[in-house]
Chain A
Amino acid sequence: MLLGAYTYAILNMPTELKLGTSVYKYYECAVRFDLGFLPSLLLAGVVAAVFAALIGIPVLRLKSDYLAIATLGFAEIIRAVFQWETLGPITNGANILSGFTDLNHIYLPFTKILIPPTFFVMLLSGLCIAVILLLINSSFGRAFKAIRDDEIAAEAMGINLFKHKEMSFVISSFFAGISGALLAMYQFTVKAATFKTAMTYEILLIVVIGGIGSISGSCIGSFLFIACNEWWLRFLDESSNNIAGLNIFRSGFRKVVFSVIIMVIVLFFRKGIMGDKELTVKNVRQLFAGRKKAKKVSEGGESHE
């Protein structure tokens, strides 16, 4: 995400701004060109994917927990490198990058019609999800699932483990890069310090809460996570809600309640809210039909499971 955000910001920022002193205060900017909005967005994904390919070569020799630890390590390394002064002419060191196209200034291509920010984000993520769905349901995606289920059997079927793991790593990084660019557009600024491990955990948490292996679960998870964090639990932070004498409502209390909710979810939904199931019209129908069937079964005493 960091790579995506930076790539987008650096490539999209207008050249005259780069040459001026308002953003690059301490360095002379080395990137003396700017690209349009869409090419920058796409390149944000591509650059992230390329780096993932390089990191994947050593990291993917590890398994499960060790793999996660190593990738976390690399994430920290990349963040540190981006704050490094020697790279200042490109990354502006530890300082903020700004002035690129943000979410409030996206126009339909070749026209002057503004696209509403929410609509644009929905559109782009919808597009990404559609691509991922197509991928998962292809024979390529089946191979991914086979590897997840049983590596040895997958290898015995002739699936090249390393190649497929590397591919999945690269593809997911591409989308992470795009989301990084979106985050940059949303925040108006880019700063390496944003991309600490805490952010990695937040994203991981969303996936776990939603259900690993479920796309709709991840979507629901991210809505719930952000809504709880930023919206529904806000009232807990208002000290004006306090009944006389009780001083529990103060800023930060929201986070306490939120952690309890997360623990409850993890305890009672071991596999996340959706598990590995998808939210489809068919499944919703089945849910209702299933209840009816269950009734019939309990009446007739004959089960077909």
Chain B
Amino acid sequence: MSDTLLHIENLQVRYGGIEAVKGVSFDVHEGEIVTLIGANGAGKSSTLRSIAGLEKPSAGKIIFRGDDLTGRDATSIVKKGITLVPEGRRIFADLTVLENLKVGAYLRNDDISEDIQWVYDLFPRLKERSWQLGGTLSGGEQQMLAVGRALMSRPKLMMMDEPSLGLAPLIVKDIFTIIKEINRQGVTILLIEQNANMALKTADAGYVMETGRITLSGTGEELLTNEGVKAAYLGS
């Protein structure tokens, strides 16, 4: 599409002796929805976690809007405009919905009331439940809250780790509709999914990861019709 927003070059992540990500390179362009698909243990989450600064990459480069972010801590990466919706939602169960959103905007010093309104417009359910404790929400609502919380930092790039995990198919559909809507409003999205079908239908570009390496890449359409992908991830 247009400018490269995020450029990953030969990224490697190690946990002790185990090499989870063995040199991954890809680009995310501004305004796109990009998806990484792959089986369990392919290194998708590790890739996202190292971009978010939760894990230090052992080699490689992470360039975001021209700045080298390799090995920076999570605080400065969130400040730069990258945010992560962590796997399994991980909302703050003992905080209210509104407090959860406020924590999402923790690093900001400006007025956040407009953004709270923005999140409430995207997820009217959250507004209804703004005084409820996060832990009392249903799975789908918690996922909405996790997305809303991430949006509160006004990210340029939102990374989502398995947003469909453990949710009913109908709710998964809702979540993907909202992902598209958020993207339309100018947030670039990097998504990892095991639900490859849904992810590829939504995405502009996709990469297939296998045991720490990218083995295939293409547009969402191309990957959807690729015989290898069909056999391995789409179950047909």
Contacts and interface: CB of A to CB of B under 8 A. Distances in A.
Contacts of A65: none
B104 interface: yes
A152 B78 contact: no
B78 A158 contact: yes
Contact of B78 (A143, A148, A157, A276): A157
B76 to A, nearest CB: 8
A20 to B, nearest CB: 55
B184 interface: no
Contacts of A150: 90-93
A166 to B, nearest CB: 14
A139 interface: yes
A149 B107 contact: no
Interface string A138-149: 010011011011
B91 A159 contact: no
Contact of B92 (A139, A145, A160, A213): A145
Interface in A136-195: 139, 142-143, 145-146, 148-150, 152-160
Interface in A4-24: none
B131 to A, nearest CB: 12
B86 interface: yes
Range, interface on chain A: 10 to 19
Contacts, number: 70
Contacts of A155: 54, 74
A276 B94 contact: yes
B99 interface: yes
Contact of A145 (B79, B91, B94): B94
B13 interface: no
Contacts of A153: 86, 90-92
B73 interface: yes
B7 interface: no
A215 B171 CA distance: 39
A276 to B, nearest CB: 7
A155 B103 CA distance: 11
Contacts of A139: 102, 106
Contacts of A276: 94
B71 to A, nearest CB: 15
30 contacts: A139-B102, A139-B106, A142-B99, A142-B103, A143-B106, A146-B95, A146-B103, A148-B94, A149-B92, A150-B90, A150-B93, A152-B86, A152-B90, A153-B86, A153-B91, A153-B92, A156-B74, A156-B84, A157-B103, A157-B106, A157-B107, A157-B149, A158-B75, A158-B79, A158-B106, A158-B107, A158-B153, A159-B75, A160-B75, A276-B94
